Amino acid sequence: MIFRIAVTSDVSTTPTFALHKVADWNRGYYLTGLLSLGNTLMLGDSMTSVSFLKLDGTQLEMVARDYGPLWPVCVQLWGAKSIIGANVSQP
């Protein structure tokens, strides 16, 4: 889920904040990595593979996905167009 933080009361010395849900995406199994770059999210899912999502207004859209069973245990952005990750053998 993606939330926006809003200040609900800043008249006191301790402001009050609220979270407003902007978008959600529920198609993963067991996320091992979550990274963002601008309005793009990269998800590492230990049961499936690596996915890229783009936030467009209030919608998360699939941009790219590797459907091979990589079993990634960690992922990291390597510049704007590359990723680096580690995987394990299938159990």
Q: What is the 3-state secondary structure of 47-77?
A: CCCEEEEEEECCEEEEEEECCCCCCEEEEEE
- pLDDT at residue 90 tops 70: no
54 pLDDT tier (thresholds 50, 70, 90): very high
pLDDT band at 61 (very low <50, low <70, confident <90, very high): very high
pLDDT for 91 beyond 60: no
What would the mean pLDDT of 31-47 be, rounded to a whole number?
84
pTM for the structure as a whole: 0.72
Over residues 68-85, the pLDDT tens digits come to 777 777 788 787 777 787
Token pair for 40: 């793009």
